[in-house]
Amino acid sequence: MFLFLVVALAVVVAAVTLAVVGGGEGEGPLPEVAPERLQDPLPPDRPVGRADVDALRFPLAARGYRMADVDDALNRLAAELAERDARIADLESALAGARSAAPHGSHAPHIPLDKPAHGHEDQQ
């Protein structure tokens, strides 16, 4: 039994050695494979919507996700969120200014700040 294991080990070592040293003669080393890229990146020509984020899938690399793709997507989302937050703050301050400038006898329309006005829902 021991002799059988030694012979089997020798055969495996010889096969691996031949595969590494003698395999692919005349072809050279394997060509570099182009890295897999993000198939459907975030749209460059319009604001990012909920459906865009839901559909976002990062390709796997040898050790997880490609950091450059993840960083690009997160930077884009962060910039758009900051822009939207600034716009919301501007609109809220303009609304507060309009409410305070209105005469006390007039009835300025009450627009809740936590919900979009009718007809202005986010288009998906």
Reported as a single tens digit per residue, the pLDDT across 15-72 is 888 777 665 555 566 667 666 676 677 888 888 877 888 777 777 777 777 888 888 8
| C-alpha to C-alpha distance for 7 and 111, rounded to whole angstroms | 85
CB contact at 8 A, 80 and 48: yes
The pLDDT value recorded for residue 22 is 63
**Rounded to 5 degrees, what are φ and ψ at 61?**
-110, -175
The answer, yes or no, to whether residue 77 has pLDDT greater than 80, is yes
The pLDDT value recorded for residue 91 is 95
| C-alpha to C-alpha distance for 39 and 49, rounded to whole angstroms | 17
Reported as a single tens digit per residue, the pLDDT across 78-118 is 888 889 999 999 999 999 999 888 776 555 566 665 655 54
